[in-house]
Amino acid sequence: MIDYIRHRRKLAKLFKQRKSICDVYAGEIRKARKEGKTREGIESIEAEAHFERRMIDEDISILVTDYLIMRANRRFVPVPSRDEDGMWEQCDVVNNRYVLTNTGISKLRTSLRLEKKERNEMVLKILAAITGIIGAATGLLAVWLNNPAARQR
């Protein structure tokens, strides 16, 4: 649970950074248009904004990939192979780093949910059995305590 909270805080921080970058560059583009800068100058600002957003997006992808792989490894759930088409992609900004694609993330999350569902079903079966045993023992005890003949023996 603590890992999940840390993950969500880091993710929220990255999304906040992405939004602030978008806001800053949108302001710079508006300012450049008001000042009558050339098309090349505006495109330069847009390219810089795109690069900055792409860096944050890759950080988000790396964070999500690392978190899902950590959860999968803890639960012995197989991680999609890099040989599978459409599951992994190489980062553009961070060299030699692979991250899960949306398809890979979806597949791994589905596998994690299925494993959690199976684990919960097993726990529920055990709890149902324990509840039945406690109920039977309570019934026998009630009969034994309310039957005077059983107590005299």
Amino acid found at 17: Q
pLDDT digit string (tens) for 101-120? 999 999 999 999 999 999 99
Residue 13 to residue 8: CA distance in whole angstroms: 8
- In this model, does residue 13 exceed pLDDT 70? yes
Average pLDDT over residues 122-127: 94
Residue 69 to residue 47: CA distance in whole angstroms: 32
CA distances (Å), origin 62, targets 41, 88, 91: 32, 11, 9
Token couple for 79 = 């991680």
Q: Which residue has the higher pLDDT, 148 or 123?
A: 123
Please state the domain extents for the chain.
2-114
pLDDT at 151: 57
pLDDT digit string (tens) for 20-79? 999 998 898 888 888 888 888 888 888 898 999 999 999 999 999 999 999 999 999 999
Per DSSP, the residues of 61-98 read HHHHHHHHHHHHHHTTPPPPPTTSTTTEEE-SSSTT-E
